[in-house]
Amino acid sequence: MAVHCMASLIQNLFGDRQVTLDSTLDLPRATDFVDPYFFFSNRDASEVTFVSPSIQKILGYDPSTVTGLSYHHFLCEGDPLNDDIPECQQADLSDGRSITALRSVKDSSGERRILLVHTVGVADTEGGPVVRRHNIARDVTESVQTHTHLMERLQQLDHAARQMTSQEREIANRILEGKMNRDIAQELDISDRTVERRRASIMKHLDAATTPELVSKLVERRMLHTWTLSAADAQWQSARNSHLAVAAAAM
């Protein structure tokens, strides 16, 4: 059963690639977990029974001081990322079920870190009750903060773009294509002066003082939209409470 559960954890880390374990020799050792990952097990809802040495590099804790403590000791109180912990503790993790969630914790210096934690249940015998929970945690703090910053920037640019009229958006799109005022005027069958007037209005909406700055902001907005569609870090964004990550990063 333990082999099956560890296979589930490994599968979560390495995606759709097939994971086959022939014996316990195929199982990772505690020392195999390195930054940004660490492994820990717990029983009775929260008592930590084991933690891999890599926690020291990630969160700064001596592994020997963590065993025996409740992992609640390390949580950031009042953080929305931790609100669903009671529900997760009651969840049935038998028969290969798992939970993936973001957790807000304190490192050894008291600083907030955001972990992606994937949890499976472990039984002593096939079909028996879950007696341990095995967890692989990954520090995703910087990824969440970067995502938050870029999404806030995109929202600012989108808000400015929504102030444009449909005619201004037509011109903005052509500016992005590198077209000059005269070409835009001929294409839209309007005067050069109308193009200049609408260009000035676009610059005002986007708070751009020069044409290069205007082009830069238009390109930035397009790139940010492309980035959001490509999923900057799909792994942590698949967590059950990932929608709360932006609020947690801003705290």
Closest CA to 78 of 106, 117, 40, 97: 106
Please report whether residue 39 resides in a domain: yes
Q: Which amino acid is at 42?
A: N
Is residue 23 domain-shared with residue 44, that is, in the same domain? yes
Find how far residue 50's CA is from the centre of its chain.
26
pLDDT tens per residue, the chain (251 residues)? Answer: 444 455 455 445 444 444 444 555 556 677 777 778 999 999 877 899 999 999 999 999 999 999 999 989 999 999 999 999 999 998 999 888 899 999 999 999 999 999 999 999 988 888 788 888 999 999 999 888 888 888 889 999 999 999 999 999 999 999 999 999 999 999 999 999 999 999 999 999 999 999 999 999 999 999 998 877 665 556 788 888 988 886 544 44
Is residue 119 domain-shared with residue 20, that is, in the same domain? yes
Give the residue numbers spanning the domain of 55: 2-140
Q: Provide the CATH number for the domain around residue 95.
A: 3.30.450.20
Please report whether residue 175 resides in a domain: yes
Is residue 122 domain-shared with residue 158, that is, in the same domain? no
Please report whether residue 10 resides in a domain: yes
**Which stretches does DSSP call E strand in the chain?**
37-43, 47-51, 98-106, 112-123, 130-139
Give the pLDDT score at 9. Answer: 52
Alpha-carbon gap, residue 118 to 108, rounded angstroms: 22
Closest CA to 174 of 189, 186, 184: 184
The token pair that represents 144 in the structure block: 């969440």
pTM, 2 dp: 0.74
Is residue 25 domain-shared with residue 90, that is, in the same domain? yes
- Looking at the structure of the chain, the number of domains it has is 2
Is residue 99 domain-shared with residue 193, that is, in the same domain? no
Q: Provide the CATH number for the domain around residue 197.
A: 1.10.10.10
Is residue 204 domain-shared with residue 125, that is, in the same domain? no
